[in-house]
Amino acid sequence: MKTENLYTGEKIPKIGFGTWRIGGESLPDPASDSKSLAALRSALELGYTHFDTAEIYAGGHTEELLGRVIQELGVNRKSLFIASKVWQNHLKYDEILCSCDNSLRRLGMGYLDLYLIHWPLAEMNMKEVCRGLNRLVKDNKVRYVGVSNFNVALMKQMQDCLESPLVTNQVPYGLTDRTYVDNKVLEYCRKNKILLTAYSPVKDSKKLLTQTLRDIAAEHKATPYQIAIAWIVQQPGVITIPMSFNVRHQTENLAAQNIVLSPAEMERLTLQS
């Protein structure tokens, strides 16, 4: 398993498992539970250990299902790296503490490995937000803190009031989305030893499936989607959290870490869009 190092020296997998749409989207969808539970079971059985979720996913139901499967399979909690996120309408001190407690209750866990601010809010009080996160770390409910969808200016503001290092910024990133390259977030993260976690790594199939990508995939006897993921994880300081309900696709996504692209192939892919 390819990994990146956190500031403590702890290793985090290059490829994790996202859980958006597990158990529903914005609201719980009990009718999809069987499909969702099967997807989580197969991901755990295939060897995924980093799972990313959020309180807003299916109104908290996603966390419930993830916790349920982990308990049913008897997976050692210490072998997993579990991340969750607090939504933007809970960015006050007491609400952050309450949101974390609720996530832990739904997951059936005593702590989160990573807790992130899901989306920034224009009127949020950054010092109050940091005070809440600092409290969670002190209380051993959260091991690491991070953010999602933050620009460089907001990252700097948060770093100024956090008592522990910011370990990641989770953003959309891939061959079809370079927004967080253009706004200098990736550059800032690398300079400051902050991991960039790429979500939606293979979105927009029509734009993604270029002839260049298809040609390189054929050379490696891989799928174009595997090459798109390999392009991400081969970059230093970058990890990703693809998601699929399909066992074959889960397997292929995880196997993408074993594909070694040449410098020339990396450049061809980078320059194609």
Task: List residues with catalytic annotation.
Answer: 57
Query: Position 77: which residue type?
Result: R
CA dihedral for 103, 105, 106, 107, sign (positive or negative):
positive
- Residue 76 to residue 132: CA distance in whole angstroms: 28
Query: By C-alpha distance, which of 51, 123, 50, 129 is closest to 86?
Result: 129
Write out 157-223 in H/E/C secondary structure. Answer: HHHHHCCCCEEEEEEECECCECHHHHCCHHHHHHHCCCEEEEECCCCCHHHHCCHHHHHHHHHHCCC
| DSSP character string of 17-53 | EE-TBTTBSSSB-GGGHHHHHHHHHHHHHHT--EEE-
